[in-house]
A and B are shown apart, each in its own frame.
Chain A
Amino acid sequence: MKLNVNNAQHDVDADPRTPLLYVLRGDLKLNAAKFGCGLGQCGACTVLVNGEPVFSCVTPIALLAGKEITTLEGLGTEEHPAPIQQAFIEAQAAQCGYCIPGMMMRAQALLQRNLHAGDADIRAWLEPNLCRCGSHMRILRAVHRAQHILTTAQKGDAG
C-alpha cells in the first residue's frame, strides 16, 4: 500500500495489520519514532497523522491510506533544525533522549493548533508521554522556548 510520510509517497509491502512504527523503522529506516511499550502507554512512538499525535506502535497501517504522516525527521535536520528541535537543543532537554522524539512530536501537535498554550495546558497535553530520566523540567522549558522561537518568527513575518 501507499503511505504519505513526511510529504513523500512510499510504496510499502507489508501486512496491513502491521503497526506503523515497524514500517517507519524497518521499511523506511526512520529512527526517531521509538519502540517503548507496544501498548500505547508511554508515547515514545508518537508521530503525527493529519496533525494529530498518534501512538504509532498500536496504529495499523491499514488505517493510514491517504493520511499525512509526519515524523520528527519531517520537521528538520541537524543542519537545519525546526524550531522545536532548536528549542530542545538550546534547552539541553534530554538525558538519555529515548523518549524525546515522542515528546517533541506531541508538543509539535499542540503548538500547531495553539501556539500560545499556557504552562498548565502544556503539562496536561504531555501527560500521555513518559520520561524516566526525569528531564521533565527541561522538556517544559524547551516547549516554552519553541513557543518563543515560533512567536518571534511570526512577528518577523508580519513585520
Chain B
Amino acid sequence: MSDTGIVISRRAVLAGSGALIFSFSSVAQSPAQENAAPLAAAAPPLPGSLKQSPFLDSWIRIDADGAITVFTGKAELGQGIKTALLQVAAEQMDADFAQLKIVTADTARTANEGYTAGSHSMQDSGTAITHAAAQVRTLLVAQAAQRSGLPADQLKTDNGAVVAPDGRRFGYGDLVAVEILHVQASPQSMLKDPVQYKFLNRRIPRVDIPAKVTGGEAFVQDFRPDGMVHGRIVRPPSYGAVLDSVDTTAVKKMPGVLKVVRDGSFLAVIAEREFQAIEAMRALAAVARWHESAKLPDMAALPAFLAGLPARDIKVIDQQQPAAVNAKMISATYSRPYVSHGSIGPSCAVAQLQDDALTVWTHTQGVFPDRDAIAEMMRMPKDKVRCIHSQGSGCYGHNGADDAAGDAALLARALPGKPVRVQWTREQEHAWEPYGPAMLVKVSAALDDSGKIADWDYAVWSNTHSMRPGPAGALIAARYLAEPFPEPEPKPIPMPEGGGDRNSNPIYKFPSMKVIHHFLPTMPVRVSALRSLGAYMNIFSIESFMDELAAAAGADPVEFRLKHLDDPRAREVVSTAAGRFGWSAKPRAGSPGHGYGFAFARYKNLAAYCAIACEVEVNHETGRARMVRAVAAVDSGQVVNPDGIANQIEGAILQSMSWTLYENVSFDDRRITSVDWATYPILRFSAVPDSMEVHIINRPGTPFLGSGEAGQGPAAAAVANAIANATGYRFRDLPLSSERIKAAIGV
C-alpha cells in the first residue's frame, strides 16, 4: 500500500458540519496565477476547462460498484489523449487504472471544450481533470472520515479505496452518495507531490491501440447501426460552381438506389449498399451539368500573388530602435504553398433523424461548434441536434470531417429514421478539404560588430488559419443549398496564440524588433487550420534565417542561437538536442552530399520547447534530399506519457519532413488538380530516416504544455538548414523539392 503523496503542509481539509473548506496551494499553478495580486477581490479562476464546466461530475462520475468514468470534451484523434487523461485522473484519485473508463466529446454528455486543437488538450482538459480528480479524492476522504470517525489526515487512498490506519478499506463506490460529486470545483486543489506519482511520466500503453490492431470497431468508418444506408455526394467540379441541370431518371432506377437528393447545387445519392452508392454517384456525376466561375491564382507565382492582395496590417511587435552603426544588413524572402491535411481515411459521418431529433456521429475536432453549424444549416434548435465524436483517420487540423457531418445531416433529413453513412472519396477529400494557407515571409536583420543581431524586421502575409464551424456557412454543403448560407467572414486569430502570425514573434532576444502580420482576407483557395497553423512557416523562416545570419557572422548555428537565448528551459532543450546528436563532433565539411541542420522553437512562445538536429543526404544527380538521422529534445512541462510525447514528436518530424520536401496543392486557373496520392505525393518508406531519437526533459509539477505541434516548425528548418549545409545553396521556397534542388546544384 502506498501513501497518497499529499504533502502534509498543504493539507488543510476541514470537514465540519457537512461543509468542506478548501485552502491549500497548488503545485500546478500557471505562471499567470503565481503572478496574480494576492489580495485581488475576485476569486481566482478555476484551472483549465473547469472555468467553462465547474461541476466535478461534469468530469468524473463514480458508480456504486466503484466503476469510475472520466468525461472529457476533447476528442481522441490518435494523439493518445484518452490514455493521457486517464493517467492524470488515476494519479490524482489513486484509482485502479484498469477500471477507469473515458467518455470523449459528445454534446449530450461532456463539457463543451471547443475544438481539440492547438496542442491544448492537456492544458485545458488535462488540467481540469487533474484538479477535478484531486477534489473528488478529497471529498471521498472526507466521506470516509465521517464514516470511520477518524480525522481525514489519518486516511490514505489506494487503488480505488480510502484506507484507514487499521486496514479498513472504504471503496470509492461505497463512499459516493448520489449528489456528492455534483458540486462546483474550487480554484485550488490538494494535488499530489510529484515525487509520489505512480501514473504520470509512465509509459502506459495506449488504451485504443489493441482494437485498432485486431479489427475492432475503432473508427466512425466502422460504425454500422442497424438499417444503415450509404450516401455519396457529387461535388461541383470547382469552387462555387452552380448545378445547371441534372437528369436523375436513370440513376433513380439503378440497383439499390433509395433516393437522389438535390437542394440547389448540393447533389447526392443514397443507396442500400456501399458499392451501389458509389456506382450511382459516378452515374450522377456523369449527367450533372455545372456552370463554373472560379478563378484561381497562378500557382507558379503564389508569393507575388499574396504580396499583391489587399491586406489588413496587424502589428505583432513594434519595438524598433535606431539602427546600430556598422551593422551588416541581411535580408531574405521565404514562401510556402497551400498544403493538404491529407488524411489517409477520407472523411466520413453517420447521421440519423428520428422523431425530429438529429444524431450525428462525426470525427470533427469540435462537436459543439459542428453541432451549432449543423443546427443552423438544418434550421433546427440546437438542443435537437447531438454530435457524438467517433474517431476518424488522423486529421491534423480542419479537414473534411465537419463538412462530411453536414452532408450526412442533410441526407438523414432526406430519409428520416434511417442511419445514413456518408463516405467521401479520396478525390473529394483532396479537392475540397480546407488547406493550410499559402504564406509569404520577408525578413531583414542587422548584425553588429560582435556578431549579434542588432535589429530584426519581419513581415508575414497570410490568410486566416481558421474557417472552422460555428457558422453554418463554414460547411461546404450549406454554401450550395438552394437557400445558401454565406461563407463566414475570415478573422485573424489574435496573438499570443496567433494564426498566420503564430510564432512570428521570435523567442530570441534582440534589442530592436518589428514584426508585422499582413492579414489577407481574400481566399481564392479554401483554407483553414492545418496542424501548427502559421507556426510551421514562421519557424521555418526564422530558423532558416538564423542559420543565414550565423553564417554571415561566422558562427556555429547552435552557438549563435544560444547567444540570443536567455530562457533557461530553451537553452537546455537546445543543448540537449545538440549534445545528444553530437553536434560539436559532426564533420565540418561533411561527407559528400551530407549536411547537418539544427533548429529550435517554443511553440507559440508559450507552450512546448522543441529542438531538432538532423543529418540529410542529397543525391546530386536527382536532387532528392533524404533525412538520414534526427535527434530531438522536447520540454513539454510535466510529462504524462513519455511514449505519447515521443510518438507525437516522431510524427511531427516525419509529417513536417513530408510537407517540407514534397508537398504543394496544385491547381489550374479553375480547378484543384492534386486530387489523389499520385498528384499529391507524400512521404513513403524509402525516404524514412535510418534513425530518430526523442529526448524528453520532464518538469515535474509544472503545467502541461502539450506536444502535438511542437516539432513541425523545427523539423522543417532543421531539414532546410541541413540541405543548405550539404549543397551550399539556401532554398527558401517550400517545398524543397528534388526539382528545385537539382535545378540549383545541377550536374
Interface residues of A (CB under 8 A from B): 14-15, 18-19, 22, 25-26, 29-32, 34-39, 41-42, 44, 71-73, 76-78, 81, 85, 88-89, 92, 94-101, 104, 123-124, 126-127, 129-138, 140
B685 and A94 contact, CB distance less than 8 A: no
Asked whether any CB of chain A lies closer than 8 Å to the CB of B728, the reply is no
Select which of A18, A34, A85 is within 8 A of B345 by beta carbon.
A34
Chain B 196-218 near chain A by CB (<8 Å), digits 1 or 0: 00000000011011111111111
Asked whether any CB of chain A lies closer than 8 Å to the CB of B423, the reply is yes
- Say whether, besides A31-B215, A39-B676, A94 and B206 are in contact (CB < 8 Å): yes
- Give the number of residues in B that approach A within 8 Å (Cβ atoms): 60
- Say whether, besides A15-B275, A72-B215, A127-B686, A41 and B677 are in contact (CB < 8 Å): yes
26 A/B residue pairs, CB under 8 Å, sorted by A: A22-B273, A22-B274, A32-B214, A36-B345, A36-B426, A38-B278, A44-B345, A78-B211, A81-B210, A92-B205, A96-B392, A97-B218, A98-B78, A98-B219, A98-B343, A98-B344, A98-B392, A123-B686, A127-B685, A129-B685, A132-B343, A133-B78, A133-B651, A133-B655, A135-B654, A138-B647
Task: Beyond A34-B345, A131-B344, A133-B78, list 6 extra A-B contacts (CB 8 Å).
Answer: A44-B345, A92-B647, A98-B393, A104-B213, A127-B686, A136-B685
B651 and A95 contact, CB distance less than 8 A: yes
Q: Which residues of B contact A15 (CB under 8 A)?
A: 255, 275
Chain B 519-552 near chain A by CB (<8 Å), digits 1 or 0: 0000000000000000000000000000000000
B651 and A73 contact, CB distance less than 8 A: no
Distance in angstroms from B617 CB to nearest chain A CB is 15
A35 and B684 contact, CB distance less than 8 A: no
Q: Which residues of A contact B342 (CB under 8 A)?
A: 132
B274 and A76 contact, CB distance less than 8 A: no
A127 and B684 contact, CB distance less than 8 A: yes
B426 and A29 contact, CB distance less than 8 A: no
Q: Which residues of B contact A138 (CB under 8 A)?
A: 647, 650
Q: Which residues of B contact A100 (CB under 8 A)?
A: 212-213
Distance in angstroms from A18 CB to nearest chain B CB is 5
Distance between Cα atoms of A19 and B279 in the complex (Å): 12
A88 and B273 contact, CB distance less than 8 A: no
Select which of B77, B273, B275, B423 is within 8 A of A96 by beta carbon.
B77
B275 and A89 contact, CB distance less than 8 A: no
- Say whether, besides A18-B275, A37-B426, A94-B78, A73 and B215 are in contact (CB < 8 Å): yes
Distance between Cα atoms of A36 and B491 in the complex (Å): 33
Q: Which residues of A contact B426 (CB under 8 A)?
A: 36-39, 41-42
Q: Which residues of A contact B677 (CB under 8 A)?
A: 37, 39, 41-42, 130
A137 and B650 contact, CB distance less than 8 A: yes
Distance in angstroms from B233 CB to nearest chain A CB is 15
Asked whether any CB of chain A lies closer than 8 Å to the CB of B470, the reply is no
Asked whether any CB of chain A lies closer than 8 Å to the CB of B114, the reply is no
B205 and A89 contact, CB distance less than 8 A: yes
Asked whether any CB of chain A lies closer than 8 Å to the CB of B666, the reply is no
Distance in angstroms from B482 CB to nearest chain A CB is 30
Instruction: Give B366-382 interface residues, CB cut-off 8 Å to A.
Output: none
Asked whether any CB of chain A lies closer than 8 Å to the CB of B417, the reply is no
Distance in angstroms from A55 CB to nearest chain B CB is 12
Query: Closest 5 A-B residue pairs measured CB to CB?
Result: A96-B78, A134-B654, A97-B212, A96-B394, A134-B651
Select which of B215, B343, B655 is within 8 A of A30 by beta carbon.
B215
B685 and A99 contact, CB distance less than 8 A: no
Distance between Cα atoms of A126 and B222 in the complex (Å): 24
B273 and A26 contact, CB distance less than 8 A: yes
Distance between Cα atoms of A21 and B407 in the complex (Å): 23
Distance between Cα atoms of A103 and B211 in the complex (Å): 15
Instruction: Label chain B's interface by main secondary structure.
Output: loop
Asked whether any CB of chain A lies closer than 8 Å to the CB of B611, the reply is no
Interface residues of B (CB under 8 A from A): 77-80, 205-206, 208-219, 221-222, 224, 255, 273-275, 278, 342-346, 391-394, 396, 423, 425-426, 643, 647-648, 650-655, 658, 676-678, 682-686, 688-689, 692
B216 and A98 contact, CB distance less than 8 A: no
Distance between Cα atoms of A142 and B222 in the complex (Å): 24
Distance between Cα atoms of A21 and B669 in the complex (Å): 36
Q: Which residues of B contact A29 (CB under 8 A)?
A: 224
For A72, the closest partner residue in chain B by CB is: B215
Distance between Cα atoms of A129 and B211 in the complex (Å): 20
Distance between Cα atoms of A130 and B209 in the complex (Å): 18
- Say whether, besides A98-B394, A124-B686, A78 and B216 are in contact (CB < 8 Å): yes
Q: Which residues of A contact B648 (CB under 8 A)?
A: 95
B214 and A73 contact, CB distance less than 8 A: yes
Distance between Cα atoms of A97 and B391 in the complex (Å): 10
Distance in angstroms from A6 CB to nearest chain B CB is 10
Q: Which residues of B contact A95 (CB under 8 A)?
A: 78-80, 394, 647-648, 651
Distance between Cα atoms of A81 and B213 in the complex (Å): 9
Q: Which residues of A contact B224 (CB under 8 A)?
A: 29
A96 and B393 contact, CB distance less than 8 A: yes
Distance in angstroms from B632 CB to nearest chain A CB is 12
Q: Which residues of B contact A26 (CB under 8 A)?
A: 273-275
For A25, the closest partner residue in chain B by CB is: B274
B274 and A92 contact, CB distance less than 8 A: no
B214 and A94 contact, CB distance less than 8 A: no
- Say whether, besides A34-B345, A126-B685, A77 and B396 are in contact (CB < 8 Å): no
- Say whether, besides A37-B677, A76-B214, A88-B213, A132 and B344 are in contact (CB < 8 Å): yes
Distance between Cα atoms of A85 and B215 in the complex (Å): 10
- Say whether, besides A26-B274, A98-B394, A130 and B216 are in contact (CB < 8 Å): no
Q: Which residues of B contact A77 (CB under 8 A)?
A: 214
B653 and A31 contact, CB distance less than 8 A: no
Distance between Cα atoms of A89 and B684 in the complex (Å): 22
A31 and B222 contact, CB distance less than 8 A: yes
Distance between Cα atoms of A98 and B144 in the complex (Å): 46
- Say whether, besides A36-B426, A71-B215, A72-B214, A96 and B686 are in contact (CB < 8 Å): no
Best-buried of B79, B393, B658, B685 by chain A (most CB within 10 Å): B685
Distance in angstroms from A148 CB to nearest chain B CB is 17
Distance in angstroms from B79 CB to nearest chain A CB is 7
Q: Which residues of A contact B346 (CB under 8 A)?
A: 35-37
Distance between Cα atoms of A22 and B678 in the complex (Å): 23
For A13, the closest partner residue in chain B by CB is: B273
B275 and A14 contact, CB distance less than 8 A: yes
Distance between Cα atoms of A24 and B219 in the complex (Å): 16
Distance between Cα atoms of A99 and B274 in the complex (Å): 21
Distance between Cα atoms of A88 and B206 in the complex (Å): 12
A89 and B650 contact, CB distance less than 8 A: no
Distance in angstroms from B502 CB to nearest chain A CB is 21
Distance between Cα atoms of A131 and B687 in the complex (Å): 12
A137 and B686 contact, CB distance less than 8 A: no
For A96, the closest partner residue in chain B by CB is: B78
Best-buried of A18, A25, A129, A132 by chain B (most CB within 10 Å): A132
Q: Which residues of B contact A31 (CB under 8 A)?
A: 215-219, 222
Distance between Cα atoms of A42 and B219 in the complex (Å): 18
Q: Which residues of B contact A88 (CB under 8 A)?
A: 209, 213
Q: Which residues of B contact A36 (CB under 8 A)?
A: 344-346, 393, 426
Q: Which residues of B contact A97 (CB under 8 A)?
A: 78, 208-209, 212-213, 218
Distance in angstroms from B348 CB to nearest chain A CB is 8
Q: Which residues of B contact A140 (CB under 8 A)?
A: 688
B344 and A42 contact, CB distance less than 8 A: yes
- Say whether, besides A37-B677, A81-B214, A97-B78, A19 and B275 are in contact (CB < 8 Å): yes
Distance in angstroms from A155 CB to nearest chain B CB is 25
A132 and B643 contact, CB distance less than 8 A: no
Q: Which residues of A contact B217 (CB under 8 A)?
A: 31
Q: Which residues of A contact B212 (CB under 8 A)?
A: 94, 97, 100-101
- Say whether, besides A123-B686, A132-B342, A132-B396, A94 and B651 are in contact (CB < 8 Å): no
Distance in angstroms from A9 CB to nearest chain B CB is 19
Q: Which residues of A contact B343 (CB under 8 A)?
A: 98, 132
Q: Which residues of A contact B216 (CB under 8 A)?
A: 31, 78
